[in-house]
Chain A
C-alpha cells in the first residue's frame, strides 16, 4: 500500500527529462530516500517502454482498394491536365464561342464582323495568335460598347458576354 504522496507528474517530468535542474535534484533526493517512489518510477519506466514499443498496426486488405481508388483519380486528373496542355484550343472551345458572340455583337454594327461565323473566325484567329491579344480584343470591345451606338438588347447581351470573357481571361 502506498503511503508516500509522491508527485506522479514530477516522476513523469523526470522521465521525460524536462525538469529544471532544481526540480530534478529534488526528485533525485526524494527517490534515494523513498522506496515507494522508486517502485512507482520502475512502473512508470515499464509503461514508457510499452508506449515506446507499441506493436505495429495491422494492415487491412482494404488498403489496396484505397490505393486503387487514389491511382484512378490521379490518372484521370493527369490525363485531363495532359489534354489541356496538348491542345489549349480544345479547352478554350467553350469560351471561344463566348468570345465569338461578344465579338460579333460588338463589331457587327460597325460592319466589321458580318455574322456569327465571322465572329468565330476572328476569335479563333486572335486566340491562335495569343491569349493576350484576345484580352486586348475583349478590353477594346468593352470600350467600343461604351462609345458606339449598339442596339440596346445587343448591347446588354454583348456586355454580359464580354464580362464573362474578361473574367475567364483573368482567371
Chain B
C-alpha cells in the first residue's frame, strides 16, 4: 500500500489506515528513537507518542506527501523534548570532552593482537559502546550527519542550535569515537 493510500484511509477515519501506518513505519520510528536515546524502554515510549502525535495531526497532513520524513521529524522532535526535559541528561553535552585522552589510553591498553574476523565484531561493539557513551545531543548530531546525510546547516536548523555548536559537537563526538576505537584502528593500520 502506498503512502497516498494510507493517508487517504486515515483521512476517511478508517482504523485500517492507522494500522497500515503503524505496520509500515513503527520499526523505522523505533530504530530512530533508539539510535538517538540508546534506551529501549524510552524508545518504545517515544514510538507510541510519535504515532499518537501523528494521529492527532493527520487531518492537516496533505495526502501525497511522503510519510517517512514527517514521522522522522516528529521522532526527532519528541526525542529532543525528552532530552531537554531531563536536565541531568542534557547537561552531559556541555561537559563532554574533558576525559577524552584518558579513554584513548584505556582503549589502547586494553587492546591486544586478535584474529582479523574478531576485529570486525569488536569494531562494531566498540563503536556501539562509543555511541552509547556520547552525550545525547552529540550523538544525535553524529547520527543526523551520517545516517540522515544532513548538512551542518540542516542539523542546526532541526536541533535549533547555533551552527558553531553543531560543528563543535560533531567534531568532538567523532574524535571521541576515534579515541574509543584507537586500539582497533591501529591494528587495522
Contact = CB atoms under 8 A, between A and B. Distances in A.
How large, as a class, is the contact surface on chain B? 35 or more
Given A8-B171, A47-B178, A55-B124, A81 B19 contact: no
B86 interface: no
A74 interface: yes
B5 interface: no
A57 B178 contact: no
Nearest to B147: A54
A67 B127 contact: no
Provide the main secondary structure of the chain A interface. Answer: helix
Interface stretch (A37-45, A105-113, A125-133, A154-162): A37-45
Contacts of A81: 13
Interface stretch (B22-30, B66-74, B76-84, B102-110): B22-30
Provide the main secondary structure of the chain B interface. Answer: helix
Contact of A70 (B52, B128, B170): B52
A68 to B, nearest CB: 9
A50 B26 contact: no
A76 to B, nearest CB: 10
Given A43-B189, A47-B174, 4 more contacts: A44-B174, A47-B178, A47-B181, A51-B174
Interface of A: 8-9, 12, 16, 18, 39, 42-44, 46-48, 50-52, 54-57, 59-60, 62-63, 66-67, 69-71, 73-75, 77-78, 81-82
13 contacts: A12-B170, A43-B178, A43-B188, A51-B127, A51-B147, A52-B146, A54-B35, A59-B30, A63-B27, A70-B18, A70-B52, A71-B19, A71-B22
